[in-house]
Structure 1
Amino acid sequence: MKYVISLVKEIVKKRKMILDLALADFRKRFVGSYFGIVWMFLQPLVTVLIYWFIFGEYGMKTVPPVPNATYVVWLVPGLVPWFFYSEALNSITGCLQEYSYLVKKVVFKVEMLPVIKLLSCLLVHFFFVLIMLALYAAYRQPVFATWIQILYYTFAAAMLALAFGYFTSAVNVFFKDMANIVGICLQFGIWMTPIMYDEAIFTSRNPWIGTVLKLNPFYYIVAGYRDSMLTGDWFWRRPTMTLYFWGVTIVVMLVGLRMFKRLRPHFSDVL
């Protein structure tokens, strides 16, 4: 626990440096790219269009469980946090290799690198939140005070990505297949989370499937985004899920930091 407290103090102390490096990482993504920042939005928007076409008005015609909500309005609050989480976890997993020159510097605290990558992904995420708000305005969706709650659920998704990221980034230095394992798990995870489909199509026949889906901690994030944007429910309306999510996140964070601390002395030797 002392290690966690020390890490938080270090982040607060060097917050300007961390923010500067995060902004530099954000800009670096588009160096040498002709269309630059356009690519940041193109792939996620194409993904939304594909799911909308297959599951929405022109395909399976999935009916959202929220009254007076079109499929795309229901879909986007599920996909926006998933785009952020998957990008953050992938980026954090490979951050030690990407910034190997900083890892080898004795004076640089390596634990900052996952945080820097996370903040860089957050900048992208806030752009998508603005697009989501513009979509809701275009569809004339009612405005709820709970929209502000998106900040809380974004923080929750960030902590979950960082918790897993400390573990995967440390292991990835020695076991390069970890990045591929993370990619496969994320492909599997998006279908284990009811983002494109209504979970009722399964739980109506097998109620235990609902329990299995809720064991996935990201279920809490997706449900929270939709509560905030569509129904106006505050996070304390899900007390059991809130306690479960933060319990899992804290345990994973402690395990990840312990693994990171144990392997840290050998990073520079391998890289």
Structure 2
Amino acid sequence: MRGFLTLIKICKEKRKMIMSLAFADFRKRFVGSYFGAVWMLIQPLVTIAIYAFIFGPYGFKSSPPVPNVSYTTWLIPGMVPWFFFSEVMNMNTGILQEYQYLVKKVVFPIELLPIIKLISCSLVHLFFLLVMFLFALFSREPILITWPQVFFYSFATAFYALALSFFTSAVSVFFKDMQQIVGIVLQFGIWMTPIMYDETLFTGKAPIVKWILKINPMYYIVAGYRDSMLTGHWFFERPGLSLYFWGVTTVMFLFSLRFFRSLRPHFSDVL
């Protein structure tokens, strides 16, 4: 817990440097690219279009559980947090190798590197939140008072991703294959989260599968985005799931941060 409080103190003291490095990281990702930041939208939007075609009215004709809502309108609030989570995990796992010149500086608090990359990814996420809101408006969905609640669930996604990132980034320094393992787990994880399908699909057939899906913290986040955008439900209407998510994620965060700090003295030697 002391390490967490220390991290907050450092973030407060170095907030200007953190934001400066985060914006620099964001710009660096598109240096030399003709279309620049446009590419950050194209691939995810193409992915959404493919899933919408396969599972929507032209494919398997999946019916969303929300009445009078098209499959695409239901799909987008599930895909947007997953894009954010997967991007943070992919980017942060190799963050120490990418910024090894800062890792080797004794005076630089390297615990800030995953946070800097997280903020950089959050800038991309803001674009997708805008796309999600605009699509809902163009689809003539009713504007709900719960729409701003997606920012609460965005914070939940960021906190969960950061909790995992401290662990994967530290391991990646000593075990280079961690980057590939994370990529495989993410490919598997998107299907272990009810994003393209509704979990009621398993009701009566394999009820244990529905229980397993809810163990995944991303279930809480995806359900929260859809609650906010489509059904108008508040986060406190899922008290058990909320306590489970924040309890598990907090424990993971404290463990990962302590694990990261324990290996920190050896990073510069290996890099």
If the length of structure 1 is used for normalisation, what is the TM-score?
0.99
Counterpart of 1:102 in structure 2 is 102
Counterpart of 2:235 in structure 1 is 235
Matches within 5 A, 1:62-211: 62-211=62-211
Counterpart of 1:214 in structure 2 is 214
C-alpha distance after superposition, 1:26-73 (max 9, x if no partner): 000000111111110110010000000100011001000000100000
Shift of 1:80: 0.2
C-alpha distance after superposition, 1:224-246 (max 9, x if no partner): 00000000000000000000001
Quick check: 151-160 or 203-212, which moved more? Answer: 203-212
Residue identity in the other structure for 1:241: L
If the length of structure 2 is used for normalisation, what is the TM-score?
0.99
Question: 5+ residue gaps in structure 2?
Answer: none
Quick check: 207-216 or 158-167, which moved more? Answer: 207-216
C-alpha distance after superposition, 1:180-235 (max 9, x if no partner): 11111100000000000111111232222111100001000000000000000000
The alignment partner of 1:30 has SS state of coil
Residue identity in the other structure for 1:5: L
CA distance in 1: counterparts of 2:258 and 2:44, whole angstroms: 34
Residue identity in the other structure for 2:224: G
Task: Please provide the CA RMSD for this pair.
Answer: 0.7
Residue identity in the other structure for 2:213: L
C-alpha distance after superposition, 1:251-270 (max 9, x if no partner): 11111111101100000011
Question: 5+ residue gaps in structure 1?
Answer: none
Residue identity in the other structure for 1:240: G
| Aligned: 1:34 with 2:38 | no
Counterpart of 1:224 in structure 2 is 224
Identity of aligned residues (%): 64
